[in-house]
């Protein structure tokens, strides 16, 4: 159903019936419908669901729905069209005189330009997800009243397993999946399950700073391994620390450089892990957001599931406030990971898991990703075009992901540049600060998702002013 045609949409799942509280059923239906109309959730021209269908959905009699519709018609909130149905009136309704003045919702200040990892709201997906949450709340599951599986609900683990099998070639049963609150949570579980104090772990150089923070907190020792155009240099890792207990990689889209690990390197990394009895921590953080061609399958699928822990999150493709991701765990490590889970937060929240599973299994998530890729690709192109006008920058145009790297052609102090940008209200990350051992490259890491075209162009203009002032 096209989102631009509200007359054909079934939005009955958005209804939240008020508690009885002595109210008759028809009054509760009326109040629920009226709330959706007045707050703009259901637009003018939208067709009200057929009375029989809505009665079944809400678990009330058809006569209660008919009386509620009649009240909406009498109040002017709806109009009837002979032979067509009942529709939301194309009118604006002021609040009742006795009602307190409406308070404008508080909104967070917009993020500074180029903030990394900012999600883009998709109204169609949010509308669908709102209905799924509402339906799950109405059919309240007794599992919410007790403590359950520390891995998460079978429904969501099964939906994630099917998604990963189709989209990323991951070979895992639902029993191998642990639902987590995000990538950082997964890092904590994995590292505490794997490491003893001082254990060496290969890390990419340059590396994702948040993993280094988690590794240090778990008592591990980072062993920098250089990254080139083919990804992590496995041969260099073997020389630096052949006895390492794990390797952390972002093989589909290396953070921050954006390169993909070649197949030869992937095979070499897995060969080393098997021979050393080590594990590979695969951070698949933005593999869904690819703009051209097909990405390489996940390392976990190539390995078969014995030596790779696969981590992913919905924060980048839905929104961070959802706090939901996944960790695919080999059989040999599951008991250790769950022991850590039980000692920390016990289990993931179950209330939203069913709605997320509905989103994945019903086809809405796949359609959402298509829209998201197109939107992010357009944002990337806007920023690349704006940055191309600035002297002194060389932009790496990514085929995937949520950020790009703008290198300083003549070198320079990117840390000082990032500080000057911050003072000007522009969020950048200095590339050189992410290098550990090898000679650093000067540049800026810039996010381009979740911003309007105007905000991206304004951010580029502001960056240009900072560059000019520093020169």
440 secondary structure, DSSP code: P
* CA–CA distance, 384 with 299 (Å, rounded to integer): 30
What is residue 19's predicted lDDT score, i.e. its pLDDT? Answer: 59
Encode pLDDT of 17-48 as tens digits: 665 656 788 888 888 888 778 766 777 888 88
Among 286, 349, 348, 372, smallest CA distance to 133 is for 349
Query: Helices 353-361 and 154-168 sit at what angle, rounded to 10 degrees?
Result: 40
Which residues have a Cβ under 8 Å from the Cβ of 283 and sit 6 or more positions away? 183, 208, 211, 248, 249, 250, 255, 311
The SS3 of residue 469 is helix
d(CA 236, CA 233): 5
Task: Tell me how far apart the alpha carbons of residues 211 and 64 are, in angstroms, rounded to a whole number.
Answer: 56
Mean pLDDT of the chain: 88
Dist. CA 212–CA 136, nearest whole Å? 39
pLDDT of residue 237: 98
Positions of E strands within 40-128: 78-81, 85-88
Closest CA relative to residue 424, chosen from 461, 385, 384 = 461
- Residue predicted with more confidence, 147 or 308: 308
Distance CA 57, CA 380 (A): 43
pLDDT digits (tens, 9 = 90+) for 86-137: 888 875 444 433 444 443 343 444 789 999 989 888 999 999 999 999 999 9
CB burial string 355-391: b at 16+ within 10 A, e below = bbbbbbeeebbeebbeebbeebbebbebbbebbeebe
Listed residue (185, 186, 191) closest to 203, CA to CA: 191
Written as six digits, the tokens of 423 are: 């003072």
Pull the structure tokens for residue 31: 């109040």
Whole-number pLDDT of residue 130: 92
Q: Which range, of 101-115, 137-151, 163-177, 311-325, averages the lowest pLDDT?
A: 101-115
Lowest mean pLDDT among 100-104, 191-195, 410-414, 423-427: 100-104
- Tens of pLDDT, residues 343-401: 988 889 888 999 999 999 988 999 999 999 999 999 999 999 999 999 999 999 999 99
| pLDDT number for residue 4 | 44
208 band by pLDDT with thresholds 50, 70 and 90:
very high
Kind of pairing between the strands at 246-249 and 429-430: unpaired
Q: In this structure, what token pair is assigned to residue 277? A: 């009895």
Whole-angstrom Cα distance, residue 311 to residue 325? 8
Lowest mean pLDDT among 72-76, 83-87, 228-232, 342-346: 72-76
Residue 246 contacts residue 194 (beta carbons within 8 Å): yes
**What's residue 395's pLDDT?**
96
Reading the block at residue 179, the tokens are: 């639902």
Residue 1 confidence (pLDDT) above 50: no
Q: Which of 229, 202, 205, 208 is nearest to 438 (CA)?
A: 205
Angle at 326 between CA 225 and CA 433, to 5 degrees: 35
Q: Is 276 helix (H, G, I), strand (E, B) or coil?
A: helix
Distance, CA of 60 to CA of 219 (rounded, Å): 58
Nearest to 444 by CA among 388, 393, 378, 399: 393
Q: Which residues of 127-140 are buried (b: 16+ CB within 10 A; e: fewer)?
A: bbbbbbbbbbbeee
**pLDDT above 70 (res 159):** yes
| Highest mean pLDDT of the ranges 76-80, 114-118, 278-282 | 278-282
Task: Determine the 3-state secondary structure of 116 from DSSP.
Answer: coil
At residue 206, does pLDDT exceed 60?
yes
Peptide bond into 35 cis (omega under 30): no
Mark out the alpha helices in 169-262 (DSSP H runs).
183-194, 209-217, 234-240
Q: Which band of pLDDT confidence, cut at 50, 70 and 90, is reported for residue 76? A: confident
CA 412, CA 68: separation in Å to the nearest integer? Answer: 69
Strand pairing report for 443-447 and 403-408: antiparallel
- pTM beyond 0.85: no
Q: Is the peptide bond before 197 cis (omega within 30 degrees of 0)?
A: no
**Residues facing 81 on adjacent strands:** 85
């Amino acid at each position: 159903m096209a989102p631009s045609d509200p007359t054909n949409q079934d939005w009955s799942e958005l209804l939240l019936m008020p508690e009885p509280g002595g109210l008759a059923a028809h009054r509760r239906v009326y109040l629920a419908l009226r709330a959706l109309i007045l707050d703009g959730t259901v637009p003018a021209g939208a067709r009200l669901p057929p009375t029989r269908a809505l009665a079944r959905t809400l678990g009330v009699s058809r006569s209660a729905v008919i009386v509620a519709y009649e009240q909406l018609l009498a109040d002017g909130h709806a109009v009837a069209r002979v032979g067509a149905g009942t529709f939301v009136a194309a009118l604006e309704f002021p609040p009742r005189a006795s009602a307190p003045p409406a308070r404008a919702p508080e909104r967070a200040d917009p993020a500074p330009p180029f903030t990394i990892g900012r999600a883009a709201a998709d109204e169609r997906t949010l509308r669908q997800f709102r209905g799924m949450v509402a339906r799950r709340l109405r059919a309240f599951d007794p599992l919410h009243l007790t403590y359950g599986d520390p891995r998460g609900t079978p429904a969501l683990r099964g939906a994630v397993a099917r998604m990963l099998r189709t989209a990323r070639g991951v070979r895992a049963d639902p029993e191998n999946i642990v639902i987590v609150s995000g990538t950082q949570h997964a890092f904590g579980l994995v590292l505490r399950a794997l490491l003893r104090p001082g254990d060496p772990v290969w890390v990419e150089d340059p590396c994702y700073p948040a993993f280094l923070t988690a590794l240090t907190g778990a008592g591990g020792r980072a062993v920098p391994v250089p990254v080139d155009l083919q990804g992590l240099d496995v041969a260099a890792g073997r020389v630096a620390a052949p006895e390492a207990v794990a390797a952390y990689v972002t093989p589909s889209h290396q953070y921050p450089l954006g390169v993909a690990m070649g197949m030869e390197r992937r095979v070499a990394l897995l060969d080393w892990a098997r021979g050393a009895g080590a594990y590979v921590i695969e951070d698949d953080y933005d593999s869904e957001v690819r703009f051209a061609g097909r990405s390489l399958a996940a390392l976990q699928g190539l390995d078969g599931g014995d030596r790779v822990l696969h981590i992913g999150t919905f924060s980048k493709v839905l929104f961070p406030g959802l706090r939901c991701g996944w960790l695919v765990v080999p059989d040999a490590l599951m008991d250790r990971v769950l022991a850590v889970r039980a000692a920390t937060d016990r289990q993931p929240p179950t209330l939203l898991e069913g709605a997320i599973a509905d989103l994945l299994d019903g086809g809405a998530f796949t359609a959402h990703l298509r829209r998201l890729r197109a939107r992010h690709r357009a944002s990337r192109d806007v920023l690349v075009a704006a940055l191309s006008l600035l002297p002194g920058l060389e932009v790496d145009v990514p085929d995937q992901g949520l950020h790009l790297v703008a290198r300083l052609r003549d070198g320079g102090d990117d840390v000082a540049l990032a500080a000057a940008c911050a003072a000007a209200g522009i969020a950048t990350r200095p590339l050189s600060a992410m290098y550990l051992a090898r000679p650093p490259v000067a540049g800026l890491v810039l996010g381009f998702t979740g911003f309007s075209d105007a905000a991206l162009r304004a951010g580029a203009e502001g960056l240009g002013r900072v560059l000019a002032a520093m020169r």
